[in-house]
Structure formats: C-alpha cells, structure tokens
Amino acid sequence: MKNILFIFVGGGFGSILRYLMSNYTQKLWNINSFPMGTFLVNIVGCLMIGFLTSYFMKNDNYLKYLLITGFCGGFTTFSTFSVENYSLWQNQEYGTLLLYVALSVILGFVAVIAGMKSQVLLH
C-alpha cells in the first residue's frame, strides 16, 4: 500500500510538471504544427528514466516507485503523442507526422541509453 502512495504522489508531480513544461515550451518554440512541448517532455522523460532505472538496478527501494513509476509515468505521455500524431494525419501534415514519430522514437531511445550510461559514468 505504501508503494501505491509513492506512485500517486510522484505521478501527480510528474503530471503537473509535464503540463507546465509542455505549455511553456510550446509557447516559446511554436514551430508550425510540430508538437515541440510533448516532444521535449518525452525526450527529457526518456533521459530521466534511463538514469533512474540504471541507478535503481543496484539500489532497490521505495524511491523507484516515487520517481520511475510515479514521476516519470506521470511526466511522459504516450497518449498525447498518439493524439497529436492523429491530428497531424487528419491535417494531412504527413512530413511533420513522420518527422515527429521518427525523432521521438530515435531520440527517445538515445536519451534512455544516455541516461543509463551517465549513471555508469557517475560511479
């Protein structure tokens, strides 16, 4: 039951930070129809989850529920990514759609690896 409370608290903070960061980023870098806010949030989230996962592989405690499952789960958003892709499809912005999907998947994967490798470098 304690782990569920940590997930709840982490998820709440992650969701609030996602909202703030995504909205601010979208206003700051309004690049045509490219969903820069969600893109940046998801790439930063991939970097964080890579770092945290690498750390908690060796240190199993309640913080992994707070930070990985809760915070990172609330911070990143696959559902918004998907609905933005649908919107790009509906608006026949196929180039932006392909760029968004490709960059999100490739840079997300690279960010996870970078997060995991940075944890190794710190020790």
Would you list which residues are annotated within the binding site for Na(+)? 73, 76
Amino acid at 40: L
Query: How far is it, in rounded angstroms, from Cα 32 to Cα 123?
Result: 42
The stretches of the chain forming alpha helices (DSSP H) are 2-28, 36-56, 63-64, 73-75, 78-90, 94-122
Query: How far is it, in rounded angstroms, from Cα 75 to Cα 38?
Result: 10
- Binding-site residue numbers are 73, 76
